[in-house]
Each structure stands twice: as structure tokens, then as C-alpha cells.
Amino acid sequence: MLFFDISTWDPQDNEKVIEHFKNLRPPAGINVINQWVDLNGGRYFILYEAESNEAYAEFNIPWSDVCLIDSVPVMESTDFIKLMISKGL
């Protein structure tokens, strides 16, 4: 399943966040597709695929001490339209 996460943090936690980024190693079952940083600071965006609930949790829990993560399950719009058509919606 694809997830688009928006992580936010307080400016005073910048150093902690940088340390987390230095040690970022996605666990097995996580495929990072792309990632972006807000040039104004305090936000990070990532699109990734998680193969399981366990991989998803293992990937996000280590950030809970410095970030608030807004995680959104997403699907490409063309795939969504095909799914809705196949369901008769």
C-alpha cells in the first residue's frame, strides 16, 4: 500500500531531526519512492510503499520522539478510477 506522510517538527528540534535523517534506513518491507523537504523548514514529505503493518510501524515509530506524522494512504488517480468503474460506481 502507498502512503504519503507529512512530518512536522518544532524548530528547536531541528538538530534531533537531522540526526534521525543521518540514520534513516528504511526497514525491510518499505520502498521509498520519493521524498521532499519544505525549504521554509519544519516539514518533510515522503511517498513510500509499505508491504505490511509491521513494516509501516517499524518505519514510523522511531520518529515519534521528534515529529508529528500525518500519514495518508494514497492511490494513483488512474488506478482509483479503474477501481471505481469495476465496482460500478
What's the CATH code of the domain at 33?
Answer: 3.30.70.1060
* Average pLDDT of the chain to the nearest whole number: 94
Terminal C-alpha separation, the chain:
22
Tell me the per-residue pLDDT of 35-70, one tens digit each, with 9 for 90 and over.
999 999 899 999 999 999 999 999 999 998 999 999
Measured CA to CA, the distance from residue 25 to residue 69 in angstroms comes to 17
Counted domains in the chain:
1
How much is the pLDDT for 49?
Answer: 97
Instruction: Collapse the DSSP code of 45 into the 3-class scheme (helix H, G, I; strand E, B; otherwise coil) and give the result.
Output: strand
What residues make up the domain containing 15?
Answer: 2-86
Evaluate if residue 6 carries a pLDDT over 90: yes
